[in-house]
Structure 1
Amino acid sequence: MLYADLHTHTTASDGTQPSSENVRLALKAGLAGIAITDHDTVAGIDEALAAGTQYDITVIPGVEISTVSEGQDIHVLGYWIDHTNPLLLQRLSSLRDVREQRNMMMLERLNELGLQITMEDVLASLQASKKADETIGRPHIADALLKKGYVASMAEAFERYLGKGAAAYVNPPRIEPLTAIEWIREAGGVPVLAHPGLYNLDKLIPQLTEVGLAGLEVYHSDHTPEQEKHYRAIAEQLGLIMTGGSDFHGERGGVVFHAPVGARKVEMSVVQLLIDAKQTTSKLLFSDKGEDEGAQA
């Protein structure tokens, strides 16, 4: 069997490895494919595609879009997107602006709690300098807290300060999951709900399926066997593609976050299902465009 890891992050967002290294790690893990799914950016994809050619690994261009529903962070994965699409790039830029706002709000909260940490401290802790189209997120702040000695581990940083309900957690207004699905489809991609076991919002899945959700990340490093069984059943019932991935973010503080490349994987036949879904999306977009042009004629 040939396998793919469909959820990995790079230094373009909150991973610690450049995207070419993720592809090399996929080869080392015996995988045939890997997706690059950075938060609200596609900046690492071109490098990964070049590495895929070098290592003979299928690289799936992807993105993980940050949304909110009922006060809960919801992440929507987009696969086989046109990562050069100007409208998508503009939209992702707007999301990074919100992410920057959130980072500053969290730093203000931390300062109010007596933890002297600034954005300069966060930037100084980065393993690579950030470009304008790359993102900074909570793991970067957690890493700075760790290096300044305020916490003993990344896990403690999230439990005490940065995770949902923790002392410095904030969640400014963001787009809804439906909007992310629309953006992904308009960029020629296939929308998949990421790690549903982390949300406790199962009622959202059929609602999103009705508006174009194509898949469900059943296999994830933070899912229990019981959760995987549960979401397999939901995916089968709704006719959703069952995807999976490690959610690899690299190593921080001597610990791999969330899991190594290839720790969770799916057969390459799932990649083909995503390709088939992309082709269906492209036909629908072409049909809609034709209808619009006909109406204007």
Structure 2
Amino acid sequence: MQQEPGRCDLHTHTLSSDGKQPPADNVRLAYEKGLAAVAITDHDTVGGIAEALEAGRKYGITVVPGVEISSRAGGKEIHVLGYFIDHEQELFLSRLAAQRDTRDQRNEAIIGRLNELGITITLDNVIRGIGRELKQGESVGRPHIADELVRLGAASDMRDAFDKYLAEGAAAYVSPPRIAPELACRWILEAGGTPVLAHPGIYGNDELVRSIIAGSELRGIEVYHSDHGQAEEERYLAMAGEYGLLVTGGSDFHGARQGVIFHGDIGSVTVGVDVLNQLRIAKK
């Protein structure tokens, strides 16, 4: 189905983090869906942006260079999206590398807990299951571990793997010390970008969301997301108005695992192209 003109999906992941598609494929899929723009927002890496920008020139659509930084507040893992960042800034690259080191430590801890639960799983086999060598700037995410759990028969599919082992509160969940959302916002701003709070409905704590907004330099909030229902959209739209924040949205596309698209397909959640100019202005 073709989208109405001037729509943008501002939240997609690629092979550079825990997505299943090469960056160029995300851009191609966005083009085929009739989108005007797509953002590449991998977890704690900008490794896929150069390839996506090249594909954007090929297909004639706008590629927004982005990132999704992992942080922690109120006992929750909080994600902060950054848009129109300078993806070549050395300071920002070094900060993201430190974030990936923390992710690697978390992965080792998750594997240890799974072993304690009697599941014979190794990080080497998780990486082998990806089917290729990881490039510089790429890292293993929980969906990769979920894939291996499915291959081992410890879970029926990725959702089952998260529910049993990997989601917050599950048997092998680990959340290492993270930077605060306030610092994630500052990093994004110092890289020339615009910080936006990702999928607030997932955190299940609107008071925490409000405290993060009040204590940080956020410029926007992801009102529209594949895991938000109408009630969440209405609530966060009102919150955006209350705090004077930009309204963004995206599918959180990760590709298909075991034939199921995680979160949403590219173009399934969009905002108007006018949001791009708002994001460019807001970072100043």
TM-score interval w.r.t. the shorter chain? over 0.9
Shift of 1:265: 0.4
Counterpart Cα distance in 2 of 1:37 and 1:43:
10
Deviation readout 1:20-79 (Å, 9 max, x if unpaired): 000000001110000000000000000000000000010000000000112101000000
Give the counterpart of 2:225 among 220, 223, 230: 220
Shift of 1:201: 2.9
Give the counterpart of 2:181 among 162, 177, 181: 177
Residue 276 in structure 1 maps to residue 281 in structure 2 = yes
Counterpart Cα distance in 2 of 1:161 and 1:71:
18
Give secondary structure in 1 for the equivalent of 2:206.
coil
| Length-normalised TM-score, structure 2 | 0.96
Counterpart Cα distance in 2 of 1:111 and 1:132:
28
Give secondary structure in 2 for the equivalent of 1:4.
strand
Match in the other structure for 2:88: 84
Q: How much is the aligned-residue C-alpha RMSD, in angstroms?
A: 1.0
Gaps of 5+ in 2: none
Match in the other structure for 1:283: none
Deviates more, 1:207-216 or 1:26-35: 207-216
Residue 232 in structure 1 maps to residue 237 in structure 2 = yes
Over 3 Å counting, the alpha-carbon distance change for 1:70 and 1:241 in structure 2 is same
Amino acid at match of 2:11: H
Give secondary structure in 2 for the equivalent of 1:131.
coil
| Percent of aligned pairs sharing the same letter | 54
Amino acid at match of 2:6: L
Counterpart Cα distance in 1 of 2:262 and 2:59:
24
Larger radius of gyration: 1
Amino acid at match of 2:26: N
Over 3 Å counting, the alpha-carbon distance change for 1:193 and 1:219 in structure 2 is same
Amino acid at match of 2:101: D
Equivalent runs, 1:57-206 vs 2, <5 Å:
57-206=61-210
Gaps of 5+ in 1: 281-297
Cα pair 2:197 2:218 within 8 Å, conserved: yes
| Length-normalised TM-score, structure 1 | 0.92
Cα pair 1:206 1:238 within 8 Å, conserved: no
Counterpart Cα distance in 2 of 1:113 and 1:120:
18
Counterpart Cα distance in 2 of 1:127 and 1:231:
39
Amino acid at match of 1:53: R
Counterpart Cα distance in 1 of 2:278 and 2:131:
36
Deviation readout 1:140-188 (Å, 9 max, x if unpaired): 0000111121111100000000000000001110101001000000000
Shift of 1:206: 4.0
* Count of residues in correspondence between the two structures: 279
Cα pair 1:76 1:180 within 8 Å, conserved: yes
Match in the other structure for 1:247: 252
Shift of 1:96: 0.3
